[in-house]
Amino acid sequence: MFFELFGRKSIIEKINIADLVSSLGGKENILSHEICSSRIRITILKSSDFNEQMLKKCNLPGYSLPEDNKVHLIIGPDVSKFYEKLKCYI
């Protein structure tokens, strides 16, 4: 919050949602999504359409790939705000 007060962008403002969704294979490749603690769990239809290199360039604080068709986006304390933006985009 200190940095937001003095003009620095928050973490969620730095994340490009369009690029993020593209890295997941596009809107049509996202089967489900849910918020969990400090992350967003996403299930994708085709793991072959997932582009990990593109995801790395999206300015996320972190991510994990627990299964072939699952991606966890680690956002942090602002996860609720980011999740609302993501849902509006999808």
Residue 9 has a pLDDT of 61
Q: Which of 54, 70, 45, 53 is nearest to 19 (CA)?
A: 54
Task: Give the count of alpha carbons within 13 A of 63, CB side only.
Answer: 22
**76 vs 10, which has greater pLDDT?**
76
Task: Give the count of alpha carbons within 13 A of 16, CB side only.
Answer: 11
Task: Tell me: pLDDT of 69 over 70.
Answer: yes
Task: Tell me: pLDDT of 65 over 90.
Answer: yes
pLDDT band at 7 (very low <50, low <70, confident <90, very high): low
Residue 47 is given by DSSP the state: G
CATH architecture under which domain 11-89 falls: 2-Layer Sandwich (3.30)
Q: Token match 């582009």: residue? A: 51
Which are the catalytic amino acids?
36
Q: Please state the domain extents for the chain.
A: 11-89
pLDDT digits (tens, 9 = 90+) for 26-41: 999 999 999 999 999 9
